[in-house]
Amino acid sequence: MQERLQTLKEEALTQIEAASSMKELQDIRVAYLGKKGPITEILRGMGKLSAEERPKMGQLANDIRAAISEKLDEKTQVMEKAAVEEKLKEETIDITLPGRPVKKGNHHPLTRVIEEIEDLFLGMGFSIAEGPEVETDYYNFEALNLPKDHPARDMQDSFYVTEETLLRTHTSPMQARTMEKLNGEGPVKIIVPGKVYRRDTDDATHSHQFMQIEGLMVGEDVRMSDLKGVLQSFAKKMFGEEREIRLRPSFFPFTEPSVEMDISCFNCGGSGCSVCKSTGWIEILGGGMVHPNVLRMSGFDPEKVTGFAFGMGPERIAMLKYGIDDIRHFYTNDSRFIKQFKHI
């Protein structure tokens, strides 16, 4: 009996070793360890043995059962692992194939520049005011210290709709509109982005429609040095930390004193190149201290408050910042142009 058991064990282990599929292993398990299997049968015949031999033989049979079972488990694991490996191998892909693009659009470069500037000024406590594109002569000119017949009106030939209304030539009318609503109570801190229109023939540097961002701050003790400080933050944010600014005297009817702001050339750093026309400086915007007539007409007392204002052109800023050579690109909407402003 003992021999028979040993033989069975040898047989089973050999068969397990040779098995090549899970099915075979299952068959072997049923054949050797099943209720009708030879070991069960041997154990059934143990009644014929002596009481002494019986436990010994039982022990041996159980050991053999365990050995076979263990071997079966072992082999199953090996085969399962191989099967998984086989499956993984089959699932292998060419990871260099292009990914499935999430096709997104992006905003127009002018919106990009405007929002960047908006966010900068929001951070400084300014809010964003928007106003009508068709304006009255009063808000566009007169309230800005530009009475009818003022020679400075030549500077910006305009599109009139009627004698008293026109397409705004700047976003400055919102200065008066905003201040009027406040009944002389400051502070006023706004920026005004928007479309403006001038009687120009469209070419590489002129556009009859373009964007402007006006800024206005009015309050007690607002100084020109504050204007310089605010514009310096702006220049560094838009054109890089190393930028320096300079203010040059200029003239606008709605500010006194008036200035123009240059930034040190971001291309050459100030040593002179084609971008800055060898001067080291690039003209960016105009501004100044709000003219007392403007304050007065909008209900503020120039004895009590002062203010600064500035106006800049997002097209110009975008052209400088991104090296765009023709202002018409902003309005032809060539998708190859707009798509270039996708990444940060």
Partner 1 sequence: MLVSLNWLSQYVDLEGYSADELAELITKGGIEVETVESLNKGIKGVVIGHVLECVGHPDADKLSVCKVDIGEEEPVQIICGAANIAKGQYVAVAKVGAVLPGNFKIKKAKLRGEPSHGMICSLQELGIESKLVQKEYAEGIFVFSDEVTPGEDALEYLNLNDNVLELGLTPNRADAMNMIGIAYEVGAVLNRPISLPSPELVRSEENAEDYVSVRVENEENTPYYGATIIKDITVKPSPQWLVNRLVSAGIRPINNVVDITNFVLLEYGQPLHAFDYDRFGSKEVVVRRANQGEKIVTLDDTERTLSSDHLVITNGTNPVAVAGVMGGADSEVQQDTTTVLLEAAYFNSKLVRKSSKDLGLRSDSSARFEKGIDRNRVVPASERAAQLMQELAGGTVLRGVSEQGARHIEAKDVTVEVSRINQVLGTEISESDVAAIFDRLQFSYKNFGGTFTVQVPPRRPDITITEDLIEEVGRLYGYDNVPATLPITESTPGQLTDFQLKRRRVRRLLEGAGLYQAVTYSLTSPAKRVFFSDESPEAIRLAMPMSEERSELRTSLLPHLLEAAQYNINRQLENLAFYETASVFLPSGSDLPEEQEHLAGVMTGLWQEHPWQKEKKPADFFVIKGIVEEIAEDLGLEDRLTFVRAEEPKLHPGRTAAIQLDGELIGYIGQLHPEVEKELDLPETYVFELNLEKVLKANVAHLKYAKLPRFPSVTRDVALVVDETLEAAEVKRVIKEVGGDKLVDINLFDVYQGEHLEDGKKSLAFSLRYYNPEQTLTEEEVKNAHDRVLQAVEEQFGAALRS
Residues 117-136 that bind partner 1 (CB under 8 A): 118, 121-128, 130, 132-136
Nearer to partner 1, 69 or 232 (CB): 232
Q: Which of residues 273-312 bind partner 1 (CB under 8 A)?
A: 289, 291-292, 306
Nearer to partner 1, 160 or 322 (CB): 160
Instruction: Verify binding: residue 321, partner 1, rule CB under 8 A.
Output: no
Residue 41 token pair: 């049968």
Residue 247 C-beta: closest distance to partner 1, Å: 4
Work out the end-to-end distance of the chain between its first and last CA atoms, rounded to an integer number of angstroms: 84
Residue 94 C-beta: closest distance to partner 1, Å: 10
Residue 257 C-beta: closest distance to partner 1, Å: 3
Residue 296 and residue 176: Cα distance in Å, rounded?
10
Strand 188-197 to strand 127-128: parallel, antiparallel, or no bridges (unpaired)?
parallel
When binding is defined by CB under 8 A, the residue of 34, 45, 58, 187 that contacts partner 1 is 187
Q: Which amino acid is at 124?
A: M
Listed ranges 21-29, 197-205, 266-274, 318-326: which one lies at the site for partner 1 (CB under 8 A): 197-205
Residue 88 C-beta: closest distance to partner 1, Å: 22
- CA distances in angstroms from 155 to 118, 136, 159, 200, listed in the order given: 27, 18, 13, 11
Listed ranges 17-25, 26-34, 78-86, 116-124: which one lies at the site for partner 1 (CB under 8 A): 116-124
All residues at 6 or more sequence positions from 255 whose CB lies less than 8 Å from its CB, including other chains:
287, 288, 289, 290, 291, 308, 309
Instruction: Verify binding: residue 224, partner 1, rule CB under 8 A.
Output: yes
CB-CB contact of 249 with 258 (8 Å): yes
Nearer to partner 1, 69 or 250 (CB): 250
Long-range contacts of 19-25 (CB under 8 A, 24+ apart): 19/75, 21/79, 22/76, 22/79, 22/80, 22/83, 25/72, 25/75, 25/76, 25/79
Instruction: Verify binding: residue 340, partner 1, rule CB under 8 A.
Output: no
When binding is defined by CB under 8 A, the residue of 46, 226, 268, 272 that contacts partner 1 is 226
Listed ranges 8-16, 26-34, 80-88, 154-162: which one lies at the site for partner 1 (CB under 8 A): 154-162
Instruction: Verify binding: residue 103, partner 1, rule CB under 8 A.
Output: yes
Instruction: Verify binding: residue 330, partner 1, rule CB under 8 A.
Output: yes
Q: Which of residues 5-34 bind partner 1 (CB under 8 A)?
A: none
Residue 216 token pair: 């206005």
Residue 194 and residue 314: Cα distance in Å, rounded?
10
CB-CB contact of 64 with 8 (8 Å): yes
Listed ranges 40-48, 69-77, 145-153, 319-327: which one lies at the site for partner 1 (CB under 8 A): 145-153
Q: Which of residues 198-217 bind partner 1 (CB under 8 A)?
A: 199, 201, 208-209, 217
Instruction: Verify binding: residue 55, partner 1, rule CB under 8 A.
Output: no
Nearer to partner 1, 11 or 208 (CB): 208
Alpha helix (H) residue ranges in the chain: 2-18, 22-33, 38-44, 53-91, 109-123, 137-140, 173-181, 224-239, 292-297, 314-322, 329-332, 335-338
CB-CB contact of 169 with 196 (8 Å): yes
- Among candidates 156, 158, 20, 7, which has minimal Cα distance to 82? 20
Interface pattern 73-102 for partner 1 (x via CB under 8 A): ------------------------xx-xx-
If phi over 0 gives left and psi between -120 and 50 gives alpha, with beta otherwise, what is residue 256?
beta
Q: Which of residues 239-258 bind partner 1 (CB under 8 A)?
A: 245-251, 256-258
